[in-house]
Amino acid sequence: MANREQGNETSITEFILLGFGNLPELKILLFLLFLVVYIATMAGNILIVVLIAVNQYLHTPMYFFLGNLSCLETCYTSTILPRILASLLTEVRTISFSGCLTQYYFFASMVATECLLLSVMSYDRYLAIGKPLHYAARMSGRSCFQLAAGSWIGGFLCSGIITLSISQLTFCGSKDIDHFFCDLIPLINISCNDPQLMEILVFTLCLIFSVVPFLLTLMSYICVIVTILRIPSTTGRKKTFSTCSSHLIVVTMYYGTLLIAYMFPTTNTLRDIKKVLSVVYTVLTPLVNPLIYSL
């Protein structure tokens, strides 16, 4: 654990999130920007959940999964943004070891759950467009609940395994985390342990919970596009594609930034780029999701 001593070294019990500390002149602007983004994200996603809940015409599998996604985004945003706002306002950037683990656990849970949920949503669109006669049977209320519950449980299980592994690391050197939240790669970089075993575990879990859902999503949309191209009329193709275009935009934006941030090695050149990409999938994606799906 991080509070034990190893030899003559004193273990670290708290970290410093460097965040945007190298931009002090933009502190007020960043605070106002993130505050507006947080309020808009919460309002937009909560509104979608409420509308789906009260409108009986939206009680369909597609909107059930969309409601789950919006609920996920509110939790996702609340894991990251309040901490950023507090550090920008008070300039207190320290976080305890337990607080860092807690933040990472919920963050990673939401990331893995969203990957699985987006894959389920793409499968729903594939059945609706490619297998319309079997859609009602395969996407019954029970099936939808099982798919959604499996996504949530799988995401939290994946995060629990990684967080438990992080808790066994010893941090006895630098306590500066070059990020605006407790993320996995910066934590591994400042630990005193051999990172090889941890990197293998992380790569394996990322492969299962990120790359595999991405490939399943990609296969679903390849089948969807092939089916759409077979529709004889132009109007029919446009109408059918409009039912899945919003989800395709979200998938492209989310996976594009996420895979670059985690699957590419962290070099001096890519470090700042990855921090910017982290802002995209942790802050901007939950903000634009309600706008994209509403349009």
- Over its length of 295 residues, how does the chain's per-residue pLDDT go in tens digits? 444 444 444 567 788 888 776 667 778 898 999 999 999 999 999 999 999 999 999 999 999 999 999 999 999 899 999 988 988 888 788 889 899 999 999 999 998 999 999 999 999 989 988 888 889 889 999 999 999 999 999 999 989 988 998 888 888 777 888 888 888 888 887 888 777 777 777 778 777 877 888 888 889 888 888 888 888 888 878 877 777 777 778 888 888 777 777 766 666 666 667 777 788 888 888 888 877 776 5
Read off the tokens for 198: 């941890």
Helix 234-263 and helix 285-294: axis angle, to 10°? 180
Q: What is the DSSP string of 276-294?
A: HHHHIIIIIHHHHHHHHHH
Bridge partners (DSSP) listed for residue 177: 17
For domain 14-294, the CATH architecture is Up-down Bundle (1.20)
Unique residue bearing structure tokens 């305890």: 96
Strand, coil or helix: 46: helix
| DSSP type of residue 171 | -
How far apart CA 233 and CA 249 sit, in angstroms, is: 24
Phi-psi label, residue 91: left if phi above 0, alpha if psi -120 to 50, beta otherwise: left
State how far the alpha carbon of 173 is from the alpha carbons of 93, 102, 176, 191, 192, in Å: 18, 21, 9, 7, 7
Q: According to the model, what pLDDT value does residue 37 have?
A: 92
Give residues with Cβ within 8 angstroms of 53, minimum separation 6: 67
Q: How many residues can be counted in the chain? A: 295
Q: List, in sequence order, every residue forming a beta bridge with 279; answer none if it has no partner.
A: none
pTM score, whole prediction: 0.86
Tokens of 175: 């306590």
Backbone angles phi, psi at 53, to 5 degrees: -70, -40
